[in-house]
Amino acid sequence: DAGITQSPRYKITETGRQVTLMCHQTWSHSYMFWYRQDLGHGLRLIYYSAAADITDKGEVPDGYVVSRSKTENFPLTLESATRSQTSVYFCATSRADRGDTEAFFGQGTRLTVV
């Protein structure tokens, strides 16, 4: 039971390059989320998706693009990476985005932009 898998676990890229972080789940949860975690900050929501082909912005969406053509996959793309996007990125899933449901997180991708 893989649950939720993020890849790669670690990535170094250069400023200006496009990079895609992958997230795959095996639970068929409707909701999927992307967060970033930086030192001195809590988790911040980048984008979320309520179902296939439905995505919406979170708190810090600038510089990121998402898609969700299949329920199980929710890739996050940095179209032109900047140093400020160096962070640890977490993907999460949830059966519903309600207070009575819990979220499940992946192991994270540590991205360094040089």
Cβ 17 to another protein, closest distance in Å? Answer: 25
Residues 2-41 that bind another protein (CB under 8 A): 40-41
CA atoms within 13 A on the CB side of 31: 16
Query: Residue 21 carries which side chain, given as an amino acid letter?
Result: L
Tell which one of 15, 96, 112, 114 touches another protein (CB under 8 A).
96
59: contact with another protein by CB under 8 A: yes
52: contact with another protein by CB under 8 A: no
**Ranges assigned E (strand) in 1-95:** 4-7, 10-13, 19-25, 31-37, 44-51, 54-57, 64-66, 76-78, 87-94
List contacts with another protein (CB under 8 A). 40-45, 48, 50, 56-59, 90, 92, 96-100, 102-108
